[in-house]
Structure 1
Amino acid sequence: MNVTIEYGIVGIPEHHIKITHQLPPQYAAYRCDFADPVLVTSPPVDIIYHTTVADGCSLSNNIFIVKEPVQLLPKVKEGVSMVCCMIEGSINLTYVDMTTIPLLQGQYNCFHIIGSQQPTLFSPGIYEVQYYGFSRELIAVYTSHSTLAKKWLYKVDMGMPILLTPTPGIIWDGLHHLNHELKFSVISTGLRKTWLLGKLQELLILILEQQDSNTVSSSQDITFNTIKTFIRNNVDKELTISQLASTYFVSASKLRQSFIKYCGMSFSDYQLKVRMERARVLCLENEVSIAHIAYVLGYKNPSALTKVYKNYYGETPSETRKNGVPG
């Protein structure tokens, strides 16, 4: 399989593992546009790979549909330097030196990986990871401008597996949009491969800039800020406090208290505030229809959006558009 990382399924005999290049109807929603899928099926877990390469760099989207607790063994055929974005779900990755690294939904980490890693336990659920692999030559371009790139290249040349971001990065809105854009871009010609390489360079530069200027915060601050950013990046989803608490390995009561303490409002009020602020910005962009705004924000129809919006702002989305930005 042409994938950046392959996953062995611990304890499952090979004759129970099947590989196909067709997605069944129930998995159609997991299809990416940038490459053809590879589906690995087994009793405890199904894994969907999409991978493409451009001049020694790669883009890979992996979906794990976990039906029962299972240990997966990440492995690579040769050393690979990557940025790992956790799009959906959270896991505790056991690294090569037996340290545990949380990969939380809405966060990213930078790795240099060599050979097989330690098995990682996946609980039942859906997990999505988007990987970006970078060549030594591309990383070397930025060593004179970036502390992380310099450290990264040194570890690559020493052949040392390492977690390069001991403090995880939060997938901010720019990276969120890049992840989405790349996932649903068709990469089928030489010109599109060149376009992809440019996008991967852009992504690497953004990561290096954020990491070089990153200040270490407490794990609690990082987790809560990740949750807030995830809510802002997923305004179309009906998120619940219990769902978020389970995903981020915190108690629901503690998470409720965090919203009151740090945001001065309840979780539901914060979610509504984020939605309405996004709606107001979109309303002031005349090229976006009210129906499209409702769709983007997860409302079933424009009337549902209008009702909530008017209750929040005292005017309808159309009135906001007509009146423009208040003076």
Structure 2
Amino acid sequence: MPAVLLPQKVKIFPAIPAQYQRYVYPFSKPLFKTTPTFSRIEQVTTIPGCRVSSIINIAEEETVIRQNRKRAVIMLQVTLSGEIICSLPSSEKITLSKGEYHLLKLNAGQQQLYLQPGINEFMRFEISPALLQELLPDTFLVREILTKKGDYCTTSVPESGNVKNKVHTLINQLRSTYITDGIQQLKQHTRIKELISSAITTLPLSHKNIVMNNPHHERITRIQTYINENLHKSISLSVLAGIYYISESKLKQDFKKYLNSSVQVYLQEQRMGKALNMLQHSDQEISDIAFEVGYANVSSFTREFRKHYACTPKDIRIR
């Protein structure tokens, strides 16, 4: 019988024993969880819309990890070594093997992970619906994973080639980067988004321009398009509700349901993302960029940019 990990039996330490130091990477502080027959090293970092985890399990015997999810989550998992059998809340079981990329939607409920003796290592990216839409707009895959009510899983096993090499290069860069300033943090944000996009493009059912047949979802998609094309304008919940003939409460509810975000948060993400891209890839004056993303003066733009990225627009230009 496999050993079942009970939370009360797991000890947690901030210090990593010497024999496991080779599994620790510079990108974030590690956490060490252990029992007499099982050890786990977790390292976590976050960007807006995504929680990134590097996880290494070391099991001396067959082990079951039980997790109780309080909310649904969309997750990309890149398995780097070993194998894990995952029992979903729907009771379906899937195998996560070395070299595979899985995009999962797990509903709230109990989940079990079955580990064989040995070491398994994976990267996990918990992605918000809004970020998924941003990275893969108008794709059938996004429609499937956001509208499907049950658990969802799609798998890819990329062979040696550009995509696989790129994903693993980005993982190595991500984990080996020690963040010391806002510029490095920005580069890490870009790296994580590029990694997610590159991995997900290998997955099946990612056909573009499929018409969504959920009218509420279609409307939110149209509103997203309007926001992205009109970032220079004054946009608010009430303005959007008026344009699309929907009550403010219903718009707020649908935005939360399909994008797991508020209108204001989504708007700010798009404005800051466009501003960063323009600062990095154009020679436009900072005042012009501020105007294009909806700010009447540079000081307000700079203040919000610093809040978002922990550095100023001038810092980006100097770099």
> TM exceeds 0.5?
yes
Question: How many equivalent pairs are there?
Answer: 201
Hey, what does 1:100 align to over in structure 2?
A: 93
Hey, what does 2:4 align to over in structure 1?
A: 10
Deviation, 1:209, is 2.5
Choose the corresponding residue for 1:184, options 158, 176, 192: 176
Change (3 A) 1:76 1:61: farther
Deviation, 1:214, is 7.6
Contact 1:147/1:212, CA 8 A, preserved across alignment:
no
Hey, what does 2:189 align to over in structure 1?
A: 197
Choose the corresponding residue for 1:22, options 15, 19, 36: 15
Deviations 1:122-177 (A, max 9, x none): 1210111111121221112245442212222324xx5x4322x0x43337222121
Deviation, 1:188, is 4.2
* Structure 2 gap segments, 5+ residues each: 208-319
Q: Distance in 1 between matches of 2:147 and 2:67?
A: 23
Contact 2:24/2:30, CA 8 A, preserved across alignment:
yes
After TM superposition, the score normalised by the length of structure 1 is 0.56
Contact 1:146/1:212, CA 8 A, preserved across alignment:
no
Hey, what does 1:161 align to over in structure 2?
A: 151
Q: Distance in 2 between matches of 1:32 and 1:46?
A: 17
Q: Distance in 1 between matches of 2:92 and 2:101?
A: 17
Deviation, 1:66, is 0.3
Deviation, 1:72, is 0.8
Contact 1:80/1:114, CA 8 A, preserved across alignment:
yes
Contact 2:82/2:120, CA 8 A, preserved across alignment:
yes
Deviations 1:41-78 (A, max 9, x none): 11221111000101121211011110122111244453
User: CA RMSD for the aligned pairs?
Assistant: 2.5
Deviations 1:238-279 (A, max 9, x none): xxxxxxxxxxxxxxxxxxxxxxxxxxxxxxxxxxxxxxxxxx
* Structure 1 gap segments, 5+ residues each: 1-8, 216-327
Hey, what does 2:114 align to over in structure 1?
A: 121
Q: Secondary structure at the match of 1:96?
A: coil
Deviation, 1:88, is 0.8
Q: Secondary structure at the match of 2:111?
A: coil
Contact 1:70/1:122, CA 8 A, preserved across alignment:
yes
Hey, what does 1:62 align to over in structure 2?
A: 55
In the alignment, is residue 50 of structure 1 matched against residue 43 of structure 2?
yes
In the alignment, is residue 170 of structure 1 matched against residue 158 of structure 2?
yes
After TM superposition, the score normalised by the length of structure 2 is 0.57
Deviations 1:275-325 (A, max 9, x none): xxxxxxxxxxxxxxxxxxxxxxxxxxxxxxxxxxxxxxxxxxxxxxxxxxx
Q: Distance in 2 between matches of 1:12 and 1:176?
A: 33
Hey, what does 1:32 align to over in structure 2?
A: 25
For 2:192, the aligned partner's letter is: L
Change (3 A) 1:135 1:192: farther
For 2:152, the aligned partner's letter is: I
For 2:39, the aligned partner's letter is: D
Hey, what does 2:83 align to over in structure 1?
A: 90
Change (3 A) 1:10 1:129: same
Change (3 A) 1:106 1:49: same
Q: Distance in 2 between matches of 1:170 and 1:117?
A: 30
Deviation, 1:198, is 1.4
Q: Distance in 2 between matches of 1:51 and 1:78?
A: 19
Q: Distance in 1 between matches of 2:186 and 2:71?
A: 24
In the alignment, is residue 111 of structure 1 matched against residue 101 of structure 2?
no
Choose the corresponding residue for 1:206, options 198, 204, 208: 198
Change (3 A) 1:178 1:102: same
Q: Distance in 1 between matches of 2:29 and 2:201?
A: 32
